Amino acid sequence: MKHVVFDIGAVLIHWDPVLAWVDDLGDTETRAFLQRINFDKLNLACDAGGSFSDAARALPDAEDRNRLSQYIDRYAQTVPNKISGTWDILYALKDAGVRVFAITNWSAETWPEGCRAHPELTEVFETTIVSGRVGMVKPSVALYRHFCAEAGVDAADCIFTDDGLHNCLGAKAAGMEAIHFRGAETLEADLKARGIL
């Protein structure tokens, strides 16, 4: 039987960094701040093992430095909701005896905050690989291989799902089957078509 490996952000948990500051700044100013500091690039560096405190100290503007330094304390605000349909699929898989795992691009600093907001993340997976803890990010083939070694599974026995097509391509390059996540309904249909559900 195949195993199913989940991405977490935008697959199981909604994530929006705007929510960390929108109450203070409003939507437009928050988005301008994130664009000004190139938040997406900083976040990926932290997903790869960097720290937000180092990222904040490197910013040239004092106000921006102070604002980014608030991010970890406010992190729970950025992950307010579960994507319920995908959780239904995850639990249906577990009920059917399918082994479920996770590989997530997530900072080692913010992962504990996400788990405090959604404790199920620490309970439902046999193995969870958090990129910030291992210093590698998807779609690096090395990260998928690291997962297989940690989980004790063969890549060929895994179906990986992620909202990022590039991450699915990385999984395929590592020998996994991959489903590009486009919503819970299509994921359910894709898994049923493969005889997993």
Q: Give the CA distances from residue 8 to residues 41, 62, 102, 131, in Å, rounded to whole numbers and listed in that order.
A: 19, 33, 7, 12
Per-residue pLDDT tens for 56-83? 999 999 999 999 999 999 999 999 999 9
Q: Which domain holds residue 174?
A: 3-14+80-193
**What pLDDT score does 1 carry?**
76
Q: Are residues 89 and 184 in the same domain?
A: yes
Per-residue pLDDT tens for 117-153? 999 999 999 999 999 999 999 999 999 999 999 999 9
Last residue within a domain, chosen from 59, 78, 97: 78
Q: What is the distance between the alpha carbons of residues 69 and 188, in angstroms, rounded to a whole number?
A: 39
CA 24 centroid distance within chain = 26
Considering the chain, what percentage of its residues have pLDDT values greater than 90? 99
Q: How confident is the model at residue 179 (pLDDT cuts 50, 70, 90)?
A: very high
Number of domains in the chain: 2
* Token duo for residue 70: 């608030």
